[in-house]
Structure 1
């Protein structure tokens, strides 16, 4: 099974997100992450869905997506050179004595501290999923109080 990043261009209409995510649920396909936002075209939104499946499964998902009237274009980015990013906000328990160590982790991952509390730090990290996962693992021993991740958003590299 391979992780696939699928870009779906859709009409910006109420209910489209529900119809697309419902298709995955009805077919028993898991969505690892989903992001939706404006696209370069007025009136169209871009969904980026990360799912796991073999080539046959992804081909079936693509065919089913095209049956949804508001779906304009479906592209599997997985076999193309792409830039994929995710944002995470991580609130870490951070007593003053632990802060230098935590800041070392933050700097290593080129993340930034966006809020400082009396006993916590909020860290913002941007990068691919593996980078975010690795940073979270290194921060766990300090105590993660809260965590929020956006999910993956992606575009194909170059002039394609």
Structure 2
């Protein structure tokens, strides 16, 4: 006994009637969001946690900078922001595992404690790494939100 084959049933395509408003949006189209901001790939970002020895690390960030354990570094604090730069006369180096050790004095100036999360921003063209402590991020984001949103939450 043979089983008869069935032909597929494909409904015809129907264009919606554009004269009749859709019950989902009240008849007028939704506004498009503004064009999203674009960014280049010249900055490498990462979030890192300050360990109990004052170290932070992210392999992607260090790779973007091209720093090794042989790279001499300077570490400075400016207005709560930590600025690290390659400098042949620098007194600091990355650890064997490419961790950046932030000196106790710098951590104190910036109010950093073990377990704090920091934003790392590597700028390879400048040969700099910016370490953004939570207090700096709080202030920057508050200013940005006020400017972009007019103080509205």
What TM-score do the two structures reach when normalised by structure 1?
0.23
The structure with more helix, counted as a fraction of residues: 1
Q: Which is bigger in relative contact order (C-alpha 8 A, separation at least 6)?
A: 1
Larger Cα Rg: Structure 1 or Structure 2?
2
What TM-score do the two structures reach when normalised by structure 2?
0.24
The structure with more strand, counted as a fraction of residues: 1
